[in-house]
């Protein structure tokens, strides 16, 4: 139990530090310009109906201590803590420029487009649809038109023995995406992607697992996407993280940890078009141990 709590504390600390470094790295150039803007920080997370998902995010953001007001907004699932609510709080703080930081794994996602729409940085959204699991329930999540705006549609589905996805007959739900109303300028940064601090966390986790490193391969498993327009971005950032972690272990660890290789793999992607990134066959066919 003690080890588990320590690991949770390390994870929370890593997220806090990562948030601070990402925020500070974005604020410094603006401050150096010696302008008269009053900055506010908007951290954007995806959201979940489960408190076990949302609470650690709230706690991490609460630990961020800056001279600027910091607010958290969720893209979906969390009423009264939306992106709009967070921007309204920053408006009350009289900020003139909002730095919006998506606490997402990848910038290459339709969710980022949805965030851009809510922030008023784009006028239209593509009609995307994806199969997701929410609190153990299979869901078809889609972007649908709602008057002159858009909404997130969530319909419970089931996968039949023939592999076909069918609606379960239960009514779905819709959550409207409402563009923010603010006079403040909004700047949206990239997501975590292949940030060097994330690579450091991957290196630390790998160092805890290796036994005979020269015969072992690091496989970094990410969520991935079925959207072909965004898949290359996932491949590039995940591969970069794995390679950065390998270099950190080789040159910064004492003693040095030399891995046999690295590989990116994904849980959600088109396995027909990209079989080389499917986790199971890679692990089964690996010549040596996989970390």
- Give the closest residue to 221 by CA, choosing from 159, 283, 137: 283
At 6 the pLDDT is 55
Contact between 118 and 83 (Cβ < 8 Å): yes
Q: What ranges do the domains of the chain cover?
A: 2-124+180-188, 196-285
- With a cut of 80, say whether residue 168 has pLDDT above it: no
At 95 the pLDDT is 96
At 2 the pLDDT is 44
At 3 the pLDDT is 46
Q: What is the pLDDT of residues 182-207, one digit of tens each?
A: 999 999 999 999 998 899 999 999 99
- With a cut of 60, say whether residue 101 has pLDDT above it: yes
At 107 the pLDDT is 96
Question: Which value, in Å, is the radius of gyration of the alpha carbons in the chain?
Answer: 21
For 44: left if phi > 0, alpha if psi spans -120 to 50, otherwise beta; the answer is: beta
Contact between 59 and 148 (Cβ < 8 Å): no
- With a cut of 70, say whether residue 272 has pLDDT above it: yes
At 33 the pLDDT is 57
Q: What is the pLDDT of residues 19-76, one digit of tens each?
A: 666 666 656 555 555 567 899 999 999 999 999 999 989 988 998 888 899 999 999 9
Please give the share of the chain, as a percent, with pLDDT higher than 70.
86
Instruction: Tell me the mean pLDDT in the region 127-141.
Output: 91
Q: What confidence category does residue 221 fall into, taking pLDDT thresholds of 50, 70 and 90?
A: very high
Mean pLDDT of the chain: 88
Contact between 26 and 98 (Cβ < 8 Å): no
| Residue 188 main-chain phi, psi, to 5 deg | -100, 125
**For residue 255, cis peptide bond before it (omega within 30 degrees of 0):** yes
Task: State both tokens at 97.
Answer: 């420029």
At 89 the pLDDT is 99
- Give the closest residue to 108 by CA, choosing from 232, 275, 279, 259: 232
Q: Which CATH class is domain 2-124+180-188?
A: alpha beta
Instruction: Tell me the mean pLDDT in the region 237-256.
Output: 96
| Higher-confidence position of 271 and 6 | 271
């Amino acid at each position: 139990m003690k080890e588990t709590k320590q690991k949770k504390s390390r994870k929370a600390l890593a997220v806090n530090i990562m948030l601070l470094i990402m925020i500070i790295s974005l604020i410094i150039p603006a401050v150096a310009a010696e302008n008269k803007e009053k900055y506010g920080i908007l951290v954007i997370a995806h959201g979940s109906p489960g408190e076990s998902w949302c609470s650690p995010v709230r706690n991490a953001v609460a630990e961020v201590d800056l001279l600027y007001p910091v607010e958290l907004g969720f893209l979906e699932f969390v009423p009264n803590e939306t992106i709009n609510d967070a921007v309204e709080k920053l408006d009350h703080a009289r900020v003139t420029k909002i730095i919006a930081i998506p606490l997402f794994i990848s910038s290459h996602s339709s969710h980022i487009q949805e965030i851009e729409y809510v922030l008023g940085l784009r006028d239209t959204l593509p009609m995307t649809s994806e199969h997701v699991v929410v609190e153990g329930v299979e869901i078809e999540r889609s972007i649908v038109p709602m008057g002159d705006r858009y909404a997130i549609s969530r319909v419970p589905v089931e996968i039949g023995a023939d592999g076909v996805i069918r609606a379960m007959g239960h009514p779905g739900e819709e959550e409207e995406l409402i563009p923010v109303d603010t006079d403040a300028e909004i700047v949206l940064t990239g997501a975590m992607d292949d940030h060097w601090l994330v690579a450091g966390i991957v290196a630390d986790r790998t160092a805890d697992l290796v036994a005979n490193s020269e015969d072992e391969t690091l496989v970094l498993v990410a969520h991935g996407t079925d959207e072909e327009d965004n898949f290359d971005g996932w491949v590039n950032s995940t591969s970069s993280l794995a390679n950065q972690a390998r270099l950190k272990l080789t040159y910064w660890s004492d003693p040095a940890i030399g891995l046999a290789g690295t590989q990116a793999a994904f849980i959600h992607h088109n396995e027909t078009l990209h079989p080389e990134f499917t986790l199971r066959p890679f692990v089964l066919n690996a010549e040596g141990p996989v970390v």
